[in-house]
Structure 1
Amino acid sequence: MALPFLPGNTFTDPTKSKYHLAHSLDYKNGYSIPARPEIGIGGEPLPVNQLSESELDELANLRPTLTYGQAKQAPPEDFIPAHVAFDKKVLKFDAYFRQTVHESPDEYYRIRPVSIFYYLEDDSVSVVEPHVENSGMPQGKLIKRQRLPKNDQGDHWHWKDMNLGINVTFYGKLFRVVDCDKFTQEFMASEGIDLNGPEGIPNDPYSNTRKEKAALRMYNTPSTFDKLKQFLELDRKVLRFYCVWDDRDSMFGEIRPYVLQYYLVDDTVEVREVHEPNDGRDPFPLLLRRQKLPKDRYNVESSFPSVVMELSNHEIKDWYTPRDLTIGNTIFIYNRRFLIYDCDEFTKQYLNLKYGLTNFTPVDVKGQGRNAPHMELPPYNGFGSLEDSLQSCLSLIPQPPKKDFIKMLENDHKVLRFSAVMDSVRPEDKGRRFIISYRLADDMMMIYEPPVRNSGIIGGKFLERTRVTKPGSKAGSPEFYGPQDMYIGACIQVFSHRFIIIDADDFVLHYLSQNSSDFPGSDRTMSSIRDLKMSQAGAPTQMPIKGAPLEVTRVPGDRERLVKEVQAQLRKANYLNNMTLHDAFLNYDKDRVGKIDVAALKSVCKRNNLPIDDDIMDALIAECDPNQEGMIDYDGFIKFLSWA
């Protein structure tokens, strides 16, 4: 049993070997935490009912009046006045008021935020509006610091009357309190006043407009199909639709054809009228000028002043597009009903590629046609040509008849010449020879009779250049002689005179051989010319007539007689000029050797207009150049031609 812990009864325990102190702090996550020791010095256990620090502090404050008597009464606390206790302590409330704006088209009212300061030292209030740059209004202190009357009974505003979400009135101006600072919240809570939830200040419409104008503008990138691309890709591309206006519901109405053209470059529409001859209508080209076509022109707002203003793109809700213009669809163009019944090939291709349309079957809109009057041409009166007389029937002011200029250019200076005799029962017409010239450019014929001395008949032009009709043709639709009617042995009747073709020149033979497919009788004509030449080969040589065409027979192998005949005709015709021909040969003989080649010889003879055909020239050259060296002695050639 332990001894009481009194003075004189204490002693050192000889059995104690540990004298360290237990720790009173623990460390957790780097922070010191107070810990209550469970054992004392040397490991002695502590009593379980050990007091805590707070309990010890409370016991220390107790004054044991029973043991030590009545404690000395504490002196009273010092009095602190309000202007000292609440010095520089201010309650701040956030509020706003709405100001009406008169005579302004941009705004009707403004939201003006303010700050309400309540000074606790003397219960005074001041209202201050924060300064806003470029507001255009006087801002700053709206109500200077003072005690504000609350009512007519002499009461003033007190901090106990303030709260959030209420309306306060200062000198007739209504303020809405929406929030306060943290000091104000703590002060009101310490005084036992519960504040309402804070509110937000509504946005000022005019301030928002000013901010939007002052803010940086954002621009959107245009779409890939802009107007410039539309112009570059679709310029001069037009969709053409064929439509009719069905106006049969009205009096004297009918179905009238129109052409609707849709310009892809700017999505405009044009309606053109289709006029027919003698339709009795004024020749106006357009029913609707080029413009954008609305689907419903009257679908606009009732407030739009249509009396003084025209419709623009902002008022029209919907426009016609190529998708709405399909075959068989009925569209309304300013209250006119149009039925689309067909379109052109480009439009079909565009609608197929753009919208995938495949049905382009045209709609039959042709009703029972009216019998058009048939114009009967009067019979030909014989004055002038048939074409000139016909032009006076086709138009009020006669126009010159159209000519085939392609034919005139291709056949210019091409003339077929034939030799003919007159088939007549009168004996004085026997032996009369004629030259028939047929112009391929205008199908006109001219007949010429060579003059014959002492014949008693004046030669010259027998028929002026004109088109000759065939016998038995009608006056209204005459048939004219053509080149296919000209051949050896053909009988041509020209104004009651009959002519029989007996011969043709070399150009006719070459022309028929080159165009044998266009002339069925070309083989007969060419064979007739060959037979005629062969039959004349054995005939005796006749004396040439001066001024008449040169007639020379051509028989292969009879060169001696052929050359003599040519020499005799050239000499008797006095055609050969030796000096002129010699000077022409000297121009080709640059080296003065006295010889020129065959080509130069033929060129000189052709330029001097020697009436010698190619086969005769070849025979003469063969006589002058028996060895066929290709070089001809031109002096010997001249002597050979002039030799008797």
Structure 2
Amino acid sequence: MVSNPVHGLPFLPGTSFKDSTKTAFHRSQTLGYRNGYAIVRRPTVGIGGDRLQFNQLSQTELDELASKAPVLTYGQPKQAPPADFVPAHVAFDKKVLKFDAYFQEDVPMSTEERYRIRQVNIYYYLEDDSMSVIEPVVENSGIPQGKLIKRQRLAKNDRGDHYHWKDLNRGINITIYGRTFRIVDCDQFTQVFLESQGIELNPPEKMVLDPYTELRKQPLRKYVTPSDFDQLKQFLTFDKQVLRFYAIWDDTDSMYGECRTYIIHYYLMDDTVEIREVHERNDGRDPFPLLMNRRRMPKVLVENAKNFPQCVLEISDQEVLEWYTAKDFIVGKSLTILGRTFFIYDCDPFTRRYYKEKFGITDLPRIDVSKQEPPPVKQELPPYNGFGLVEDSAQNCFALIPKAPKKDVMKMLVNNNKVLRYLAVLAYLLIPRRPTCEDKHWNLFRACQRQKLLESPIPEDKDRRFVFSYFLATDMISIFEPPVRNSGIIGGKYLRRTKVVKPYSTVDNPIYYGPSDFFIGAVIEVFGHRFIILDTDEYVLKYMESNAAQSSPEALASIQNHVRKREAPAPASESKQTEKDPGVQELEALIDTIQKELKDHSCKDNIREAFQIYDKEASGYVDRDMFFKICESLNVPVDDSLVKELIRMCSHGEGKINYYNFVRAFSN
């Protein structure tokens, strides 16, 4: 056989050649018979007996060649024919995605379980994008199971979108008709399909088990070896023997709480406890004798017995680690029963004997739990605010609705329309501070009252006069200022009728001015303003003479002397004595000269006060050494010739100096 000389040339027109030496062109037999039946045989040789060239390409390469369009090196390529349309119900027929999921369901009406875990299978049908939820049926579960959601397209949101297989994955939550499902895993076909579509799957999760179902798989009953304690012997030995304790429950810390008394009975025959409430007459409570029925009281429970249904079942020995016994009830100790803390303060004689014989406790004294009444709170008046009278302000602290203070009716009837009137002027008194009766400056204050007081530093106040009216019926004072034309001051009512407190009395115990405080030369301080009494009318003298016991003899004598001097004419020789005495005229001339030359000296305001502090007897004289010390401390120019002459004229033969005339030279 001659080989083809043109082997390897492309099969194109003009390049194909026939083998001229080939003579056999027969085809091999493809039909045969076996056991009387016609069968098709695959030819083993080609036409004319030539050797067949078998295809050595793989299935993947054949598929690529089948779908590969030829690319021409020249010319316009022809568009490939469109692929055949295959509908979804044909392409995805019987192809279903399966997911394993669960959802949690609340159990509100059960004491054994609070929620339930239900396992379901979610099926997604690719042919029409529908879904269904089916719960595997569990025998004797008592729950309607099976098909929870029939096959349908499920809404994903409120806009009308539906769930697609692209929205499903492992480890996510989906909400269907208000119920949330947790997808934990899927089958192998679903995993391969989603991964082929380019979806990255989350790792699978472990299926959550139902706690109540797992609880039911445990043994129903645990057998406990019975105790060797003979309860029948205890019943026969301690029958009708009861320990009695007296206790209180203090609930005063809560709103409307109170301290209530109880009796606790402990029955020795079966170790049961009973609590009885002690009622008092007219206590306002319903007559329920028992707070707690007779029962055994657990002291320490096991950990898993906290949710034990005590409202429907009795607690057994399996739920209790320790019960209350007789040794827990001791006088003087507290114990908690049913959430209430009881304090045992006493017991009966039988209980004392039992504790002495059983436990050897002999000291069980009664504890006094009676609450003593707190001491009465002393009513302290607040500080006086200056408005109204102190008695009127104090009534607001004694009652919710204040009442007017009681008045002395007899005094008002006897002294009705009786008024004492005095004439006074404003005074300016220089004292270091407000003295008291025990103060060392009290003598100075009294001396200033007896001597001439300084006039007011305000020039407009020098000619002002005031009329004091003292009303004997109410002990009130009113002040009236007579109007003066062209004075620049509006006269009239200076102080309305009110009680005036003395300046040195306390707020808690105020002392008001009385008739004995008004006399000629008396200084009356009214709310910070000082007045000096200059004159009075004849009715005041008559009243003080008729009521001499109510006023001091000095005050009565001052008014009598003033009235006599006012009525008696002054002698003419007395008025001219000063003019005839040359020593007095010389002193007055020297004082006027010093006042003109030293009118701007800085010590003139407090020089009188300095001398009065050391003159405790108010005699008007101080020692010579003390006089020069005071002048040196006040920078008085004692080296001046005029001042030396004034000191000489004021000197006394006993080594003392009269500072009254000396001070006049340094005052206005």
- Fold shared, TM-score > 0.5 on shorter chain: no
Structure with max Cα Rg: 1
* TM-score bracket for this pair, using the shorter chain length: under 0.3
Scaled by the length of structure 1, the TM-score of the pair is: 0.28
Structure with the larger RCO, 1 or 2 (CA within 8 Å, 6+ apart): 2
